[in-house]
Amino acid sequence: MVSMKDIKVGKLVLNIGAGKNTDRLEKGVKLLKMISGKPPVKTKTSKRIAAWGIRPGLPIGCKVTIRGPEAAELLKRLLGGVDNKLSLQNFDGFGNISFGVLEYIDIPGMDYDPEIGVIGFQVSVTLERPGYRVMRRRLLKRPVSRHHRISKEEAVSFLKENFNLMLKEEEAEK
């Protein structure tokens, strides 16, 4: 395979939406720090929704972003939390994968912490190829050709080869 066509894990984002519940938010911050080893940031509201009792600047969730080789290692552990099985609906058409882990104790190597309780979280993975920086750089931004973008099929095959992924649809056929 040509080195410009090699696919890698660009970033991995762990997210917990807690709503107005500050106790759950603090537990979520502890959980994300325990899983990733990095300090998470609290996400704040930007709009006012009176029916939900939300006003701007109110913390309602937390997230942590991991990049580089650490992201690939953590992704292996997190896929173990869902038994290395995902559905085709977890993939979009641009090389992104999103899935939820219902309980953090499903992740191999994670023990139950009574302070945290049982909390789930969302995982979002962005796959990239060399040359994707052209889309994000500050000066002379350019689009990446559709031939160079990662398709859904390429993302599935990358995860099957490198992370031993099984599709739920394939398992149902057997």
Cα–Cα distances (Å) from 54 to 21, 27, 136, in that order, read: 11, 20, 32
Per-residue pLDDT of 43-86, as tens digits, reads 988 888 888 777 888 888 999 999 999 999 999 999 998 988 99
- pLDDT band at 150, cuts 50/70/90? very high
In which residue are the tokens 């056929």 written?
Answer: 173
* Most confident range, picked from 11-15, 42-46, 101-105, 113-117: 11-15
Q: Tell me the HSE value of 22 on the side-chain side, using a 13 A CA sphere.
A: 3
Per-residue pLDDT of 131-140, as tens digits, reads 888 999 999 9
The three-state secondary structure class of 143 is coil
Q: Name all domains of the chain by residue range, CATH numbers in brackets.
A: 3-173 (3.30.1440.10)
- Residue 135 contacts residue 141 (beta carbons within 8 Å): yes
State the pLDDT at residue 156: 93
- Residue 93 contacts residue 31 (beta carbons within 8 Å): no
- Residue 119 contacts residue 104 (beta carbons within 8 Å): yes
pLDDT at 128 over 90: yes
